[in-house]
Structure 1
Amino acid sequence: MRKLFLFSVSLLFVFCFPNCTSPYKATNKQYKKQAKLYAKMIRRYPLKDSADNSPYFVGTTNFTLRKPNFVVIHHTAQNSCEQTLKTFTLPRTQVSSHYVICRDGTVFHMLNDYLRAHHAGVSKWGNATDLNSSSIGIEIDNNGSEPFTEQQMNSLLQLLERLKKTYGIPQANFIGHADVAPGRKVDPSRYFPWQTLAEKGFGFWYDTTGIQVPPDFNSLHALRIIGYNINDSLTAIQSYKIHFVPQDTTKVLTETDRKILFDLARKYR
C-alpha cells in the first residue's frame, strides 16, 4: 500500500508540477480554450463561403498547415521578463509574440508557431503586407538602451536554427521590427548584433572590399530590393542604418552607405 501511495504521489508530481507551480494557470486555461475554439472552426465544413452555389461539399485530401516564412526580432522595451510575460497575458493589451527570451537565456514559448501572434502591427517587407500572418515573433528582454546578454544570444541562435530547419525559412527572411515598420519602430536596438546572426546564416551582411559603385546606382531602389518600404525614404534610411550601420544615427546616405547597399542588393535580389 505504501509503495502504491508513493507511486501515485510521484505521478502527481510529474504531471502536475509544470502547471501547479505556474503563476499563469488562469491564462494558460484561456489559451487552451481559445485554441479549442480555433480547432472547432477548422473542423467545420466550409459551407458558408463564396461558393454558395455548390451542390455539396467536396473536401480535398491534399493540404497541410500554413507555415511561417519570416522571423521578426524585437526587444521588449520593458524592464524585466516577468513584466513582458504579464503584458502578453493581459487581454486588454492585444500584444503578443511566439517567444520571449529572458536575460538569463530562458526561452518562453508563448504561442504555437502556426498561430498568429500580435507582434508586428502595421508592417511591410517586400511584397508582404501583413507580417503577423506570415512570421514568428521573438521578443528579447531588453529596454533598448543596453547590450543583449550572451545567454540571450546563445538561446536566440539555437532557436533560430531550429525554426530555420523546421520551416525552411530563407536566410533573407530573418529581420527586425524596425525593418518592417520604418519610422514607427526602432527595435531591436542598435546594440543588436545583426552581423553575428548573418554569419550564422540568419540574414545577410555586407563586404565592401573592392566595391565600385556604378554611377547610375540608385540607393533607394536598393533599399526596396532588400525589402524596405521606401514610401518615406528618410524612415527607410533610418531603419536600414539601425540594422546595418548602427554607429551612424543620421538619415543621410554616405558614399560608404552606397557601397553597402550595392553589395546588399546583390545578395537580397
Structure 2
Amino acid sequence: MPYTVNCSILLTGRPLLERPQAARDAGFAGVEFWWPFPVAVPAEAEVDAFVQAIADSGVQLTGLNFFAGDMPGGDRGLVSWPARSPELRDNLDIVTRIGERTGCRQFNALYGNRVEGLEAAEQDTLGAENLALAAQAVDRIGGTVLLEPVSGTPAYPLKTSADVLQVLDRVATQHGATNLGLLLDVYHLAVNGADVDRDIEAHRDRVAHVQIADAPGRGAPGSGDLPIQQWIEDLRGGGYTGPVGLEYKTDADDPFAWLPTDQRS
C-alpha cells in the first residue's frame, strides 16, 4: 500500500474506534495509531474493542506506538525515563499481543524527554536497555521497533537521524538487538533544520518507516514549502517499499483532498 493514515492525528472529529472505517471509506487500506489508550495497561475489553474496530473496517494496522505517557501534557515517551520505566515494560507484552492479533509489525518507541536532575548518561543507559527489551518482545512476532527524531520539544534529545542511529547502534552493540530502525519523519527533520535530501541519501538503508507533514504548520502536503513528493519519489527510487504515514493536522472537510483517490490504496 502506498499510504497509511495516522488515525491519532487525522479524522479526530470522529470517535477513535470509528476512524479506521473512515480511513477505509476515504480509500485507504492502512492505518497507524499512537498508543490509543490513556494508560500503559488498558482493560482487556478496551483492547478487544480496538482490535475489533480494525478488523471490522477491513484495513491493515501498519503501525502502533508503545505507551508514551501524557502526550498532550508534553510527555514524549518512557523509554529513557527511570521513574516510569516499569510502565513501559508492562506495556511491551500488550503491544506485542495487539500486533499478533492485527498483523501489525512496526512499533514506534518514543525515547522520552530529558529529566531535570538526572544525568543524560543514566537515561541513555536505561534507554538502550528498554529499547532492547522492546525489540525482544516484538521479535517473537517478527516485529520492528521504530525510533524517530522529534521537533517542538526542547527536552527531547533525539533531533536528527544521526542522533537516532547512534542510539540504535548502541542497542545493537551492547544488547545484540537488531530489529530496530529509523522512522524518517520528514516534518520533524525539516523543522529541526536537517538537510532531508542528504539524510535520505545517507541513511536510506536504515529507514524502516516514513511519515510526512508539510512545514510550516504540520499541515497536509502542499500546505507548506517542503518538497514532500520529491522526497517520496527519492525514497521509492532508492528501494523503500513500505507505506508512507500521513501524520499531519488539518481541519479541512476532506483531509485527503491533495491526494487523488486512485493513489490512496
TM-score range, shorter chain: 0.3 to 0.5
Query: Greater relative contact order (Cα 8 A, min sep 6): structure 1 or 2?
Result: 2
**By percentage of residues, which structure has more strand?**
2
